[in-house]
Amino acid sequence: MEILQLLISGISQGCVYGMIALGFVLIYKATEMVNFAQGDLMMFGAFISFTFLNLLGWPFIPGVLATLGLMAALGVLIERVLLRPMIGEPPFAVLMLTIGLGFMLRALAGAIWGNKPRALATPFSGGVIRFGELVIGYENLAIVAGTAILCGLIFLFFRYTRLGIAMQAASQNQLAAFYVGIPVKRIFALVWGLSAIIAATAGILVAPVSLIDPLMGSVGIKAFAAAIVGGFGSLPGALLGGLIVGIAEQFAGLYLPAGFADTSAYLILLLMLFVRPEGIFATLQRKKV
Amino acid sequence: MDALLELQNVETYYGPIMAIRGVSLKVFPQQIVSVLGANGAGKTTVLKTISGAMDPRKGSVRFGGDAITARDPDQVARLGIAHVPEGREVFPFLSVDENLRMGAFTRRDSGVRGDLDLVYDYFPSLAGQRKLAAGFLSGGQQQMLAIGRALMLRPKLMLLDEPSLGLSPRLVHEIAEIIQRLNTEQKVTMLLVEQNAKMALEISHFGYVMEVGRVVMQDSCERLKSATDIQEFYLGMKDEGVRGRRRWKVRKTWR
Ligand SMILES: Nc1ncnc2c1ncn2[C@@H]1O[C@H](COP(=O)(O)OP(=O)(O)OP(=O)(O)O)[C@@H](O)[C@H]1O
Ligand SMILES: [Mg+2]
């Protein structure tokens, strides 16, 4: 029973890692940049939803939609203002820029909302479902359901919409995408918008479980490890990597000495790099020389 | 008649390396024009400069009378210039169908469905593979897909970069035939870059010969075919030793 309980909290935590990892992979696949501010975008999304839902008292659905809309705009803006001038610069410079962006978002959040941790009250705060001894919080159910719905929508978007297929085309062959008339630069901005939406969704879902504060985005590093475990370049891989890390963390917390829980993400990463360096879903081919 | 495409004194660089050194050329509507030349002559760079993948440092590119110099490639595509790049460059993980639909990305009209059927008419071997990821196609099929994808744009001008590269003689013949048919039946003007001079001169109306970044010869293909230099160095009709050492001795084998 205890194992099942751990599994459930591991899955819900893993979904959060998975969603952040999804954002990493999306941006990487499309633009070949790694956005180290992905976790901080989650934090920002959580604060914005806190503003709409709790400070302004909006009903849940409109508040969430407003948050997602605002975050999408923020993602597009970041690409437009910060990243686009960096096209052609060395990857290292872009990396530093996104790390700097993370610092900026944290400082900005601290300035606007303060550094005191806040709790986000949502319709699914507090309630639990019991199956015998098993206790599942509504928030955890919401995380799993929310992740499933989001992933389903993303799948449909990439599979069936013109824009989604164009995003795939731009990430598979940038020059050919240009030649058929796809506005690749605008597509990159939209990919950033989409990643910000995913990050914000993760933020809204995780906020009722773990408090919101400007540093909550630091889970981004574990999510980054999860993305690599999943194969960095595969969307299902990112999600699976997140779940593996989330579940392993819970079990390490119980069965291994203190300290292992927080490092388990990196231990898995190390193990993975030894056993199967290309990740679970190896879709990225080695670059042709 | 006014030229559909006109390049004037175009100079394009890779960083400090000057790849084309003042190229001027004209393509008239309904023509097939070829650009011949050895490896590294700058043929690909000319096409990239036209489609906006590279910006020239000097000179101008005009299309249908308007300056399109240094526009973004997606903008150029919207004007009706479809670039079939060297090495095919399909979207490897998208299906054949999706590749073709992406070719019509700029279009909003209702003719896309019909054009899809048209492409499958021209390339029956693709019709049976609609759902297959393009990366799994053979080289020849990928070349056909790249041309078909360009056709989906309903272009006024098609830029073809060595479509015969790496194909068997039978496929080269097939591609040449398709290019001619698209030109006459679909009224697509063609700018064709080739090392296969025999094929290119066979199907085109006018030809330019490039050498280290410059146009060194231009004439109707009738006359080019009979020019001794061309016969010797591109069609392989004479032993090259006879003429002694020449600047453009460095050239590729003839196919
Ligand atoms: N990416 C690059 N960086 C630097 N120089 C380049 C690059 N691409 C091409 N060049 C140089 O520019 C010149 C023209 O190249 P280009 O590719 O246009 O030739 P080409 O005629 O298309 O040759 P090929 O028949 O081999 O395709 C060559 O001298 C080449 O060395
Ligand atoms: Mg070339």
CA distance A180 to B75: 10
Nearest CB to B92; choose among A172, A180, A185: A172
In a domain, B115, yes or no: no
* pLDDT exceeds 90 at position B220: no
pLDDT digits (tens, 9 = 90+) for B62-96: 999 899 998 999 999 999 999 999 988 999 999 99
> For residue B130, is it within any domain?
no
Q: What is the pLDDT of residues B22-34, one digit of tens each?
A: 999 999 999 999 9
- Show residues of chain B in contact with A177, CB under 8 Å: 91, 102
Per-residue model confidence as pLDDT tens digits over B44-70: 999 999 999 999 999 999 999 899 998
Q: Shortest CB distance from B93 goes to which of A172, A180, A181? A: A172
**In 3D, which of B89, B160, B222 has the Cα closest to residue A169?**
B89
For residue A100, what pLDDT is reported?
A: 95
Residue A272 has pLDDT above 60, yes or no: yes
Separation CA A69–CA A65 (nearest Å): 6
CA-to-CA distance for A189 and A148, rounded, in angstroms?
25
pLDDT recorded at residue B251:
45
- pLDDT of B236 reads 63
A185 touches chain B (CB under 8 A): yes
CA distance B132 to B111: 24
A165: nearest CB among B82, B92, B102: B102
pLDDT value at B253 more than 60: no
**What value does the mean pLDDT take over residues B2-22?**
94
CATH of the domain at B16: 3.40.50.300
The answer to whether residue B129 is domain-embedded is: no
Which chain B residues touch A178 with a CB distance below 8 Å?
52-53, 72-74, 77
Q: Parallel, antiparallel, or unpaired for β B206-211 and B214-220? A: antiparallel
Q: Chain B interface residues facing chain A, Cβ-Cβ under 8 Å?
A: 51-53, 72-74, 77-78, 82-85, 89-94, 98, 101-103, 105-106, 149-150, 152-153
Range of the structural domain that residue B243 is part of: 5-90+155-249
Give dist(CA A139, CA B49) in Å, integer.
56
Q: What are B90-146's pLDDT values in tens digits?
A: 999 999 999 999 999 999 999 999 999 999 999 999 999 999 999 999 999 999 999
pLDDT value of position A109: 96
Question: Number of structural domains, chain B?
Answer: 1
Tell me chain A's radius of gyration from C-alpha atoms.
19
Give the mutation candidate from B84, B93, B102 for the A interface (greatest A CB count, under 10 A).
Answer: B102
Residue carrying the six token digits 């194909």:
B167
Ligand 1 close to Cβ of residue B41 (< 6 A): yes
Q: Which residues of A touch B92 (CB under 8 A)?
A: 172-173
| Domain presence at residue B193 | yes
CA distances from A267 to A19, A220, A251, A273, B105 (A): 20, 16, 13, 10, 45
Residue B150 lies in a domain: no
